């Protein structure tokens, strides 16, 4: 087993084990959530660049689930249609297309990072929703709405509708975003979920929303389409009751029984007090190894920047996918470069062969 061993999952096979990590582009300049030329060129070039799976950025399942007004969305058929050229081009390059389905929860309605990231107020802003009324901490936080049971039902429905649309748009893989302090993570973590109804309380209560979303999505999409779930393996808040690696292993074992195919193992994001450890090379790989104890395939992400490093993760069975984020911003051709460095057959587009002789 190595980085260029194909990855088979349900009815699809990735040509290698490099996945482009989901990365927000905040590039829907019209604030309508519709994919633009940027998304086609950005995602398309990573497909030409040789990756096995090209995952979109967090793609909002409802308008209120956007982090910023410029987020990508999939809350209507028009959104799915705008994504079709992206999936078609990715397929034409021999890669699998994935879409990260997301709801930002209480971290919604902020300016994009390049504009400072503060809450958006007034006409272009909106009221975030969360497990409680407790807002994302900020000097002047936005009032946040606690989801009641009708609101929770709407969220479940939105994930299912988005999943069905994503399959229709041609995506090969769906990833449910339950990490980084966004809505589904907010329900999982006792730091943010202090509800006393069936969606709060103990582990089972806090996991109920994610499990329902996964089950409902699984029932609504074809058997052959894989479902990945991205989690934060730990809240990085060891000094208080919080989500831990042990919780993650337990969750993964449960998600396995619900038809999830892979856990994409990230960390953090639930609270600004988090104690982020040294974020050097492969800093989150040990979490992927632990979550892999659930016997579900796992993706490792965080600080994977070299062909040899990515290969080592797979070769030593630490993870099933090497998920590469920022290195793909620096080099869309990371996977082609990796194939060359590791002396593997490279999926070089015919137009580019002279660059790789």
Q: Which of residues 216-245 bind ligand FMN (CB under 6 A)?
A: 230
* Binding residue for ligand FMN, selected from 302, 307, 309, 349, defined by CB under 6 A: 302
* Residue 303 binds ligand FMN, judged by CB under 6 A: yes
Q: Which is nearer to ligand FMN, 107 or 206 (CB)?
A: 107
Find out whether 54 and 90 touch, Cβ atoms under 8 Å. yes
- List the structure tokens of 7: 């990855």
Using the rule CB under 6 A, give the single segment among 18-26, 46-54, 104-112, 127-135 that binds ligand FMN.
Answer: 18-26
* Binding residue for ligand FMN, selected from 100, 109, 232, 274, defined by CB under 6 A: 100
Burial of 88 (0-12, 13-18, 19+ CB in 10 A): middle
* Residue 23 binds ligand FMN, judged by CB under 6 A: yes
* Binding residue for ligand FMN, selected from 21, 48, 87, 192, defined by CB under 6 A: 21
Whole-number Å distance between alpha carbons of 84 and 343: 34
Active site residues: 182
* Residue 319 binds ligand FMN, judged by CB under 6 A: no
Find residue 110's DSSP bridge partners. 119
Whole-number Å distance between alpha carbons of 102 and 342: 35
Q: Which of residues 28-87 bind ligand FMN (CB under 6 A)?
A: 57-58
Q: Which of residues 167-196 bind ligand FMN (CB under 6 A)?
A: 177, 179-180
* Residue 93 binds ligand FMN, judged by CB under 6 A: no
Smallest gap, in angstroms, from Cβ of residue 261 to ligand FMN? Answer: 17
Using the rule CB under 6 A, give the single segment among 85-93, 198-206, 250-258, 323-331 that binds ligand FMN.
Answer: 323-331
Whole-number Å distance between alpha carbons of 265 and 307: 20
- According to DSSP, residue 172 is labeled S
The pattern of x and - marking residues 241 through 280 that bind ligand FMN according to CB under 6 A reads -------------------------x--------------
- According to DSSP, residue 95 is labeled P
Q: Which is nearer to ligand FMN, 269 or 297 (CB)?
A: 269
Whole-number Å distance between alpha carbons of 332 and 194: 42
| Separation of first and last alpha carbons in the chain | 26
* Binding residue for ligand FMN, selected from 7, 14, 18, 22, defined by CB under 6 A: 22
Q: Count CB neighbours of 271 within 10 A.
A: 17
Cα 251–chain centre separation: 17
Whole-number Å distance between alpha carbons of 97 and 21: 12
Binding site for ligand FMN (CB under 6 A): 21-24, 57-58, 100, 177, 179-180, 230, 266, 301-304, 324-327
């Amino acid at each position: 087993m190595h980085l260029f061993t194909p990855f088979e999952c349900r009815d699809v096979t990735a040509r290698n084990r490099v996945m482009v990590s989901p990365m927000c582009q905040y590039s829907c300049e019209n604030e309508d959530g519709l994919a633009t030329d940027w998304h086609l060129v950005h995602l398309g070039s990573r497909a030409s660049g040789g990756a096995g799976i090209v995952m979109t950025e967090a793609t909002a399942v409802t308008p209120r689930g956007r982090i910023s007004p410029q987020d990508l969305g999939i809350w209507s058929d028009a959104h799915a249609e705008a994504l079709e050229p992206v999936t078609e081009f990715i397929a034409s390059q021999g890669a699998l297309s994935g879409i990260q389905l997301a709801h930002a929860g209480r971290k919604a309605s902020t300016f994009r990072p390049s504009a400072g990231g503060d809450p958006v107020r007034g006409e272009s802003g909106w009221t975030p929703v969360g497990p409680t009324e407790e807002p994302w901490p900020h000097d002047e936080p936005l009032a946040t709405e606690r989801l009641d049971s009708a609101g929770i039902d709407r969220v479940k429905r939105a994930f299912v509708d988005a999943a069905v649309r994503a399959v229709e748009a041609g995506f090969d893989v769906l990833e449910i975003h339950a990490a980084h302090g966004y809505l589904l993570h907010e329900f999982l973590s006792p730091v943010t979920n202090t509800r006393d109804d069936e969606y709060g309380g103990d582990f089972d209560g806090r996991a109920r929303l994610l499990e329902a979303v996964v089950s409902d999505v699984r029932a609504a999409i074809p058997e052959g389409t894989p479902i990945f779930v991205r989690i934060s393996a730990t809240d990085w808040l060891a000094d208080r009751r919080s989500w831990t690696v042990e919780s993650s292993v337990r969750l993964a074992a449960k998600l396995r029984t619900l038809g999830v195919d892979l856990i994409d193992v990230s960390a953090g994001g639930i609270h600004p007090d988090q104690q982020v450890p040294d974020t050097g090379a492969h800093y989150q790989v040990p979490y992927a190894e632990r979550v892999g104890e659930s016997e579900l395939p796992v993706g490792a992400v965080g600080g994977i920047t070299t062909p040899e490093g990515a290969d080592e993760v797979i070769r030593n069975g630490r993870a099933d996918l090497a998920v590469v984020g920022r290195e793909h911003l620096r080099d869309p051709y990371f996977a082609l470069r990796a194939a060359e460095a590791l002396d593997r057959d490279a999926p070089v587009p015919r137009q580019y062969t002279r660059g790789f002789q």
